[in-house]
Amino acid sequence: MEESIIVSNVSKRFEAKKENVQALDKINLTVHDKEFVSILGTSGCGKSTLLRIIGGLETATEGSVRCQDREVDGPGADRGMVFQHYSLFPWMTVQKNIEFGLKQKGITKHERYKIAKKYVGLVGLKGFENLYPKNLSGGMQQRVALARGLANDPEVLLLDEPFGALDMQTREVMQELLLNIWQESPKTILMVTHDVEEAILLANKVVIMSSHPGKIKKILNIDLGSKRGFETRLTSEFLNYKRIASELIRSETLKVL
């Protein structure tokens, strides 16, 4: 398997007036082509910072990141990002928000209309295409952001809590949607989440971070086969992974608190 993302010795220090924060300390991580990797860890352990550095939105204090064989020195079309705070264009309708990246890629008007329509339907927003973000709930905005990320079909998708604003039922349906899309047309996905079940259900590998400073504590290889769905959560293998991951995170949380 080829390497898609290579994080080498990445450290990040935020310099602030009152206190400096060592957010990440010598992170080494390789994500192979078409792998789905989840990152779990207690609040403040540096998950978002790591994703932002890979996305090129933040620079590492030390170390380097390569993505698709290129040094990361800023955002790029090879990496699609879906972040917690939706980052939709407020002056564009749902349809236009989803079409935006497709337009940048030079896809024809007719084709991008069709692709955006497809993803509007997949995320359950049919009928809302002509509304503006301000007229949508947080969960609906998050689904638009996810549809936009998926519609662009980048080589690498970076997801930061993509389902954080959704109710449990919608969240489970969106997890299955992402799983189906990834199974049908695999791509490299790196996803930050707080949800242990979500991390295990979706990924081939779960990276568990420790905090202050953020380091990689453990990488769990998840062997649940490729056909996963709602029932997978009930299997003994799944519950075993859940127990291991929960114990590791709990020991970190207790340390921090």
Ligand X SMILES: Nc1ncnc2c1ncn2[C@@H]1O[C@H](COP(=O)(O)OP(=O)(O)OP(=O)(O)O)[C@@H](O)[C@H]1O
Exposed e or buried b for every residue in 27-38, given b needs 16+ CB within 10 A? Answer: bebbbeebbbbb
State yes or no: residue 23 binds ligand X (CB under 6 A): yes
Question: Which among 45, 55, 52, 8 is positioned nearest to 24, based on CA atoms?
Answer: 45
Shortest distance, position 46 Cβ to ligand X, whole Å: 4
Nearer to ligand X, 41 or 101 (CB): 41
Rg of the chain over all Cα atoms, to the nearest angstrom: 18
- Which window, 45-53, 103-111, 146-154, 244-252, contacts ligand X (CB under 6 A)? 45-53
State yes or no: residue 43 binds ligand X (CB under 6 A): yes
Cα separation values, 53 from 8, 22, 45, 58, 173, Å: 12, 14, 14, 5, 29
State yes or no: residue 221 binds ligand X (CB under 6 A): no
Nearer to ligand X, 46 or 154 (CB): 46
Residues 2-21 that bind ligand X (CB under 6 A): 14, 16, 21
Nearer to ligand X, 43 or 221 (CB): 43
Shortest distance, position 125 Cβ to ligand X, whole Å: 26
State how beta strands 188-192 and 156-160 pair.
parallel
Shortest distance, position 44 Cβ to ligand X, whole Å: 4
One residue of 4, 38, 49, 97 binding ligand X per CB under 6 A: 49
State yes or no: residue 44 binds ligand X (CB under 6 A): yes
Shortest distance, position 41 Cβ to ligand X, whole Å: 6
Nearby residues of 97 by Cβ (< 8 Å), 6 or more positions away? 88, 89, 133, 144, 148
Q: In the block, which residue shows the tokens 């939105």?
A: 57
Query: In whole angstroms, what is the distance from residue 252 CA to residue 209 CA?
Result: 9
Shortest distance, position 237 Cβ to ligand X, whole Å: 27
Query: In whole angstroms, what is the distance from residue 40 CA to residue 214 CA?
Result: 11
Nearer to ligand X, 122 or 208 (CB): 208
Nearer to ligand X, 13 or 117 (CB): 13
- Residues binding ligand X (CB under 6 A): 14, 16, 21, 23, 41, 43-49
